[in-house]
Each structure stands twice: as structure tokens, then as C-alpha cells.
Amino acid sequence: MNNSDFHIDKKARLSMSEESKNNNDTQEVFTNVGDQVQSVDNTVRQTGAADAEGHPVQEVESMCMNCHKNGTTRMLLTRIPYFREIIIMSFECPHCGFKNSEIQPAAQIAEKGARYVLKVEDKKDFNRQVVKSETATVRFNELDIEIPPKRGQLINIEGILQEMITDLESDQEERKKLQPELYQKIQEVIDKIKSYINAEPGTLPLTVSIDDPAGNSWIEYVPGEPSHKWAMYEYNRTAEQNVFLGLISADDVAKHKQEELENKKQATDANISSNLNKKDEPATVVGLSDATEIENLENEVQTFDATCSACYKPCSTHMKSVNIPHFKEVIIMSTVCDHCGYKSNEVKTGGEIPPKGKKITLKVTDPEDLARDILKSETCGLNIPELSLDLTPGTLGGRFTTIEGLLNQVSDELHTRVFTQTSDSMDEETKTRWVAFFAKLQDAIDGRVGFTIEMVDPLAASYIQNVYAPDNDPNMTIEEFERTFDQNESLGLNDMKTD
């Protein structure tokens, strides 16, 4: 998992029965592939989406785009393990024999784009399931091959590579006769792809990434595997990506950029004019009065006009400065768009960049420790060894909550994005590992087991509340460390000029 928004979360804990009740409507429409197959074999038991005759597969007569006669489109509403609901569609024309199949996400376009990265380290990793939407780009780094967005697919890693080989081999016989040099180069690429599929010595690992600005693609995650093998990153879409998804028009983007340029020009002209009018006046320092707290902006929520990054319409951003005792001042910002419903929350720490990073280790030994405030910045990685939980920097974004709230957010994210307990098509070993993981996580949330939180932040912008302050906390240690070159590079500090 890895650049999402921060949230202040102190909501009441939901029981499993309440969670099940909330998901009943969705589960009535979208059921697992195993349930769908069973409903076909057993006509008495009807599960999932059904037509008037009780068939789980919907059939619709539609026009063939090849011969323009009527064919049949079949649709299956199903749930993918570790992911979400999708619609599998296939078309077949009895007149010309044309066939086509694709998938469509049943969920709406996500609030942010998503990029999944998988390191294929052995042959069995090629069986990892992949949901590739029609807006996703697939890249194989070591092969230096990129597949642009095309039709949606439910496939595995090996299937993507085999499709690539099929496409390259389709005209090889003609190339061999007419363009032998081009034939040889393409054949070398085909042989290289096959060597990776066969996991020949010296080929693996192979890095696979899927970048989907709609956030509706996915690579299968296996619980308990090393953290370097699988990662998910979220990001804010650019204006061009919003145009590509059809969320806004290119004219809106051009108009917004033109307005920005005009506003900047007006602000610049106003500053120059103001400076010219005051050049003969004595210099004065204007500051806020200490008379009231409102004038000091300490207890006031500031609201200012902004532009929605999703639809580019006017919206409001709320900002509040909060002084965390024995730490530093942070700024909490919240943006809500009334036009498209876009929401964004984030927390920023003030001050200069510290010369060293910071590692905070807390041993949670009492249920009351779960109520401690915790600030996890976007650059902070979090590890809980007892729970086999490792959040790389960027995962969950910046969060200011409690320890219990953070664990609940981790559980919610895993249930919505990675794991679904209602699936029956996963192997028993994998399901057992997931159930054991969530059981340990729930024990930690309920305060039944102790655990250790390790937070490593290169910018020293994270914090765990010290309930013994100003004295030292016997269960917490804080260590400073020198940032590595790679950490400075990822933070953009190596190229920063301060002279």
C-alpha cells in the first residue's frame, strides 16, 4: 500500500454483525465466482444476480460491430478475491463468428489514482491474478516493455506476457520473408519474454507495475510475504488524467490555466504598483495584536477559497493550526467540493527540515496506550513486528489520530482494497493466513495483546504522545539517525540549493 489523505478518525468500533449488515445490499448483487458456478450446477439454489428465469448470467441481444448483425452479450456480476466487484462481459456473434470479452469495474472511479508494483521472484508469482481496467498502463521494467491502456481484463501475469508473445508472433512469417532484420529483432524480444516466463537462470526478478488513474486496477496480494514484493501507491490525478477519464473537458483545463495566469499577472502588477507607491515611505513592520486569541489565529478555523483538483470548480479549504505539546506546531487542512463531492484531508508539519531523521519505538503494554495520540506523516514508515504489519512510507498518507484509530484504519483499508472474507475461491492456506492476521489485529485493537510500534521518519515529522511528559516515557525510545543518500534523493534534498 502506499500517497493517500490523512484523516482524524475517532469513530466507534463496529461489530462484525454491523459490518455484515452494511454490506448486505452489495453482496446480494455481487457474489463470488464459486457461488455463481454452484448456482449454474444447482438450479434450485439461486445466488447472485439473476434474470427472470433465475440464471446468474445475464444475456442481452446486441449488435455485432464486425458484421452489424445481432449477437449475444453475456454479463456476470461477480466479486474478485482481495479486490472488489466487477462485471465480466463476453460477446459472440453466430453470423460471422466474432468473439470478444472484457471486464468493467462495478465501482465508481476512485478518489485517487493507484499504482501497484509486484516483484516476480519465482515461477509461481506468474500466477498472480490481475485486474486491468481499460484505463490502466502495464509496464515490465526489466523487459523495458509498456502496454498502453486498452480493453479491461481479468488475467494473470503470465497471461499478459503470453498475449504479448501472441501479438508479436502474428506476422513473424511475413517479416521473415520481407524484413529479415526486423524479424530477428522481434524474435529476440519474444525469446527474452519466454525466458522470463520459464524463470531461466539470470532472468528473475521481474518488476511489474500497473498504473491506473481511475484506481480500478489491482495485482493480487499474498498475506505474509516480504514487504518488498508488493506495494500499492495512491496519487492525485493530474488535469490531463482527469480529461482522459472524462471527468472534465480539455476546454475546462485550458480555461482554468488561463485564469491562473491572469490572476498571477494581476497579483504581480498589484505588488509592483504597491511597491512603487510606497518607495518613499519609511519601512514599517505590521504584525498581529496580542489582544485576543482570534487575532492570534490560535483557536480559529481559517477558511479560504480554492479550486477543486477534480472538477476545477470553486470550493472551500479549511485550515487549523494545532500546537502539539512537547512536539511542534502542525497545520490541519480539509477541502470539500460541493459540486463533485471530492474530499481531501492532510496534515503538514511546520519548521525547517531537520538535519537528521527520527525513529520512535513504543511498547504498547496497556489498553490505555491505545488512546495515545499519534501523528504519522507521509514520509514515515510504520512496523509492528508482532502483527506482521509493515506500512511503507506513503501508506495511508498523513494521519493524526489515536493508536486505536490507526489500527482500525489499517483494518478498513485491507478489507476494502486487499482482502474480502466472503470469497470462497481462494486456497485454504491463504484464507487461513488472512483470518489469523485479522484475528491478531483485532486482538491488538481490543487491547488483549501487547505489541511494539516502530516509526521511522527521515524528516522527523512524526510523533507519539508521551503520557509521562515532561518526564521520559519508560516504554518509548526516540533515536536520531543520519539519512541515507537514497532517502535524501527521494525527498528531493540532494538537489536542493540553499545558497
Q: What is the pLDDT of residue 106?
A: 66
Pick the last residue of a domain from 205, 230, 245: 245
Q: What is the pLDDT of residues 362-406, one digit of tens each?
A: 999 999 999 998 888 888 889 999 988 888 887 777 788 899 999
371 with 439, same domain?
Answer: yes
Decide: pTM greater than 0.75.
Answer: no
Proportion of the chain above pLDDT 70, given as a percent = 76
Q: DSSP assignment of 62-113, as one string?
A: EE-TTTSSEEEEEEEEEE-TTS-EEEEEEEE-TTT--EEEEEEESSPPPSSE
**How far is it, in rounded angstroms, from Cα 18 to Cα 10?**
17
308 with 342, same domain?
Answer: yes
121 with 231, same domain?
Answer: yes
Residue 52 has pLDDT above 50, yes or no: no
| Cα of 376 vs its chain's centroid, Å | 17
In a domain, 283, yes or no: no
In a domain, 3, yes or no: no
**How far is it, in rounded angstroms, from Cα 399 to Cα 379?**
11
397 with 337, same domain?
Answer: no
In a domain, 284, yes or no: no
Q: Running DSSP on this structure, what letter comes out for residue 415?
A: I
In a domain, 88, yes or no: yes
443 with 394, same domain?
Answer: yes
Quickly state the pLDDT bin for 420 (edges 50, 70, 90).
low
342 with 452, same domain?
Answer: no
**φ and ψ at residue 328, rounded to 5 degrees:** -165, 180
> Which of 152, 158, 134, 129 is closest to 33 using CA atoms?
129
Q: DSSP assignment of 255-292, as one string?
A: HHHHHHHHHHHHHHHHHHHHHHHTTTSPP------SS-
If one counts the domains in the chain, the total is: 4
Pick the last residue of a domain from 201, 228, 245: 245
**φ and ψ at residue 221, rounded to 5 degrees:** -110, 140
388 with 340, same domain?
Answer: no
> Of the ranges 247-251, 342-346, 357-361, which one carries the lowest mean pLDDT score?
342-346
Residue 215 has pLDDT above 90, yes or no: no
**How far is it, in rounded angstroms, from Cα 499 to Cα 493?**
14
The x, y and z cell numbers of residue 303, run together, are 477558511
Q: Please give the C-alpha separations between residue 491 and each of 222, 353, 463, 495, in angstroms, as whole numbers.
A: 30, 11, 19, 10
Q: Domain with 336 in it: what CATH number?
A: 2.20.25.420
Quickly state the pLDDT bin for 195 (edges 50, 70, 90).
very high
316 with 217, same domain?
Answer: no
> Of the ranges 16-25, 117-126, 176-185, 338-347, which one carries the lowest mean pLDDT score?
16-25
- Which residue's C-alpha cell is 543520519? 482
Q: What is the pLDDT of residues 274-313, one digit of tens each?
A: 555 544 444 444 434 444 444 445 567 888 888 887 777 7
Pick the last residue of a domain from 105, 129, 154: 105
In a domain, 323, yes or no: yes
224 with 312, same domain?
Answer: no
**How far is it, in rounded angstroms, from Cα 499 to Cα 489?**
19
Q: What is the pLDDT of residue 39?
A: 52
In a domain, 263, yes or no: no
In a domain, 167, yes or no: yes
360 with 411, same domain?
Answer: yes
334 with 367, same domain?
Answer: no
**How far is it, in rounded angstroms, from Cα 475 to Cα 140?**
45
Q: What is the pLDDT of residue 80?
A: 61
Comparing 417 with 480, which gets the higher pLDDT?
480
| Cα of 353 vs its chain's centroid, Å | 27
Q: Domain with 395 in it: what CATH number?
A: 2.60.120.1040
Proportion of the chain above pLDDT 90, given as a percent = 24
In a domain, 277, yes or no: no
Domain of 344 in residue numbering reads as: 298-351
Q: Rounded mean pLDDT of the chain?
A: 77
130 with 220, same domain?
Answer: yes
